[in-house]
Amino acid sequence: MVWWRVPATTRQQEQEAPRSGALTEKGFRLDIQGIRGFALILVLLCHASVPWAEGGFVGLDIFFVLSGFLITGLILAEIDKTGTVSIVRFYARRARRLLPLAVTVLIVILVGALVLFSSIRTEEVSGDVIAAALYFVNWRFMAQAVDYFAFEDPNVSPVQHYWSLSVEEQFYLVWPLLVLAVLVVARRRGLGHRGLLAVLIGTLTIGSFAYGVWFSEVSTQQAYFSTLSRGWEIGVGCALALVLPAGLRMPRLLATVLSGGAIAALVWMTLTFRDDIPYPGWYALVPTMATAAWIVAGTAVTAAAPIRLFSLAPMQYLGKISYAWYLWHWPALVFAAKIFGPLSVTDSVLVTLAAWVPTIVSHHLIEERFRRSSTLARRPGLSLRVGATFTVTAVALAVTFSAVQPSVPVASGEQAVGARVLERGEAPQQEAVAIRPDLAKAEDDRGLPFEEGCHIKNDDRVESPECAYGDLRSDTTVVVFGDSHGLQYAPGMIALAERRGWRLESLTRAGCTVALVQLKPRCDQWRENTLRRIARTRPALVVVTTGTMDRYEVKAEDGTRLSREESQPLLERGMEETLRRLKATGAKVAVIRDQPRLPFDPIDCVAGNLESLDQCAFSPDRPVDYAFDARAARRVPGVKLIDPMPLLCPQRICPSVVGNVLVYRNTYHLTATFAATLDRWLGRKLPRLRG
């Protein structure tokens, strides 16, 4: 993020030229500082899970536009003054301004992870820190398919908020080089550099926007973090810096409408935007254009009322410390949740406010000290060396912390008996010497259909591929149909199919309930296509499983998005309709009921409690009001309902390790290794088939 004054350009230095009414004598844009403080408020409210501020993540869009505007303004001012761009001085300013504090927080995060987290999670955080220190953590999160909005996930990274800094730092690295290249081309061909810059900015911005719209529909989670799908927002700021003069003579009413409308749009988005929209996509136009309107209004010679309001001391103060507070608030929330357990909204707000303490201390002792150092300002080479030292220190510590973490031995196939132990009625396992799968890779233990691309996740496919297992020549076809909870039973079903000579098809899509409801266009199309495919296949048995918790918030007939509670009747009716259509194919139908969610990260807990595994057992909490799968199954004659709770939670205590096998890969999914040991249990519970 960019957090400095707007430089005085040669046009600003001309006394006769109009000047922004928000511009101080020292060349500081008060409106920019004020909107920066406002953006911070939005982000903090969103991350604290304040219910009415779910859309506060748009504060990051504000930061992106401001970065493009301010950085390009700095570069253009230097060109106007010197005729060129000093790459060394540019990087030196960024290094002393951003790196000392950013790296300090990363080091604190490393220490916190070492103290509070298990060896497995500390190693993961170390990898995040390395990626953040080297400015590519957003790409790392993309590769991991991280859900940015899963704030309450106990496994959320304390470095996750650095993704936006990585996007901006990549811009800082590339943009001055591109501008310098434009200058060289312009001089060789006798062209004006501003015209060429306009072409470059326009091309990159339009291209990035088109890509972002497409990618947001194809893979929303990954598009959220992508530099390529976010670059156009920075490009809008660049374009404003290129075309806006130092001051605009516009009617005060127009400036008021622009600035007031911008704030109204941002507030509206904060109150109404939800995490289920394909963002950024088209939707990011609203905060981006609102920020652009604010900047234009702030350029007016006569400052409008909203501009004057945001120029007052409180908003200026928030803008001043926004970089530090942004860096500190997120690890504070993550570590507090680890220490005290799941945080309420009130708890989250209090923790966020408490993060002001390290914010103000580090702002004065680190951020301002390095930024205002006259020695570093005079010696750009020294600034670069100081920045490099901070970065190398963070990377070295992260590598060291990762290397020294003890590993958990992996159990052999003979040791890993899994659910067989529960079937024999043995007491819950209290300790383990070795566990399967490898805890360091357990989160990715999803089974063969996932590895072979049969499970649709984060792409725009609406037809499941031809994936079959077991006896491919068998006349008896069995189908697994569901979301990621259907996928989790596939390993056990594959093992059962191999024993009984079935042909098994796995038809699953992540985040897509099988209930016939309006959820998302591609999900709805996939569901309908899959139901028709099953009708053509005419299988002997269809095994249905779907998640039921708070994920599925469906649309009403008029297109209004409903809450999870309001969605329940529609989900029940939709599930009934799905089951009736499946029964109409002539197949036997079984519904495996959804399992309870864990209140902690199972991998982290088990890695830290190998000698006391009872610490990783939990009492099941499965809201009856959300059980649309079970309710629908009971209403459709001939559908068999199978409840895994007695197996997973004997005596209503759910262990995380059974028979030396990790049961859960995260808070809501079984590991493929454990699921593969459910074949005998599934064989007893599923309807019997002839032949």
* pLDDT per position as a tens digit, 326-345: 999 999 999 999 999 889 99
Instruction: Give the C-alpha distances (Å, rounded to integers) separating 550 from 308, 397, 570.
Output: 43, 39, 14
- Tokens representing 598 are 């864990």
Among 24-33, 73-82, 490-499, the least confident range: 24-33
Containing 95, the helix (H) or strand (E) segment is helix 87-116
Tokens 């002539």 correspond to: 586
Answer yes or no: do 612 and 669 share one domain: yes
Report the domain count for the chain. 2
Residue 112, number of CB atoms within 10 A of its CB: 19
Which residues, other chains included, contact 424 with Cβ-Cβ below 8 Å and sequence gap of 6+?
A: none
Segments of 212-362 assigned E as strands: none
- How is 27-86 classified by DSSP, letter by letter? S-BHHHHHHHHHHHHHHHHHHTT-GGGGGGGGHHHHHHHHHHHHHHHHHHHHHHHHSS--
Mean pLDDT of 316-320: 96
Report if residue 230 sits inside a domain: yes
Answer yes or no: do 308 and 175 share one domain: yes
pLDDT in tens, 110-136: 999 999 998 899 999 999 999 999 999
411-449-676-551 Cα dihedral, nearest 10 degrees: 100
Q: Which of 342, 376, 403 is the last residue of a domain?
A: 403
Q: How far apart are CA 239 and CA 65, in angstroms?
A: 10
Answer yes or no: do 426 and 394 share one domain: no
Containing 234, the helix (H) or strand (E) segment is helix 227-243
Report if residue 8 sits inside a domain: no
Q: Which of 368, 403, 438 is the last residue of a domain?
A: 403
What's the pLDDT at 219? 85
What's the pLDDT at 399? 95
Strand 503-508, strand 468-470: pairing: antiparallel
Residues 304-309: contacts with CB under 8 Å, at least 24 apart: 304/252, 304/255, 304/256, 304/258, 304/259, 304/260, 305/256, 305/259, 305/260, 306/256, 306/259, 306/260, 306/262, 306/263, 307/21, 307/22, 307/30, 307/31, 307/34, 307/255, 307/259, 309/34
Among 248-252, 421-425, 584-588, the least confident range: 421-425
Answer yes or no: do 545 and 501 share one domain: yes
Start-to-end CA span in the chain (Å)? 66
Report if residue 224 sits inside a domain: yes
Instruction: Give the C-alpha distances (Å, rounded to integers) separating 401 from 140, 186, 227, 339.
Output: 19, 49, 29, 21
The partner residues of 503 in beta bridges, in order of sequence, read: 470, 477
Answer yes or no: do 182 and 279 share one domain: yes
Answer yes or no: do 138 and 186 share one domain: yes
Answer yes or no: do 238 and 295 share one domain: yes
Report if residue 1 sits inside a domain: no
CATH of the domain at 498: 3.40.50.1110
SS3 15: coil
What's the pLDDT at 691? 56
Mean pLDDT of 41-68: 95
Answer yes or no: are the C-beta atoms of 225 and 141 closer than 8 Å: yes
- How is 418-461 classified by DSSP, letter by letter? TTHHHHTTPPPP---S-BBS-TTTGGG---HHHHTT-SB-SS--
What's the pLDDT at 351? 97
8 pLDDT tier (thresholds 50, 70, 90): very low
572-513-592-604 Cα dihedral, nearest 10 degrees: -120
Containing 11, the helix (H) or strand (E) segment is helix 10-13
Answer yes or no: do 438 and 351 share one domain: no
Q: How far apart are CA 107 and CA 188, in angstroms?
A: 47
Half-sphere exposure of 364 (CA within 13 A, CB side): 6
Q: Which amino acid is at 509?
A: R
Q: How far apart are CA 267 and CA 271, in angstroms?
A: 6
pLDDT at 404 over 90: no
Q: How far apart are CA 203 and CA 483, in angstroms?
A: 40
Answer yes or no: do 466 and 376 share one domain: no
What's the pLDDT at 11? 39
pLDDT in tens, 608-648: 899 999 999 999 988 888 999 999 999 999 999 999 999 99
Crossing angle of helices 59-82/87-116, nearest 10°? 150
pLDDT mean across residues, the chain: 92
Domain range spanning residue 202?
Answer: 21-403
Report if residue 330 sits inside a domain: yes
Answer yes or no: do 454 and 352 share one domain: no
4 pLDDT tier (thresholds 50, 70, 90): very low
Answer yes or no: do 470 and 372 share one domain: no
Overall residue count recorded for the chain in this entry? 691
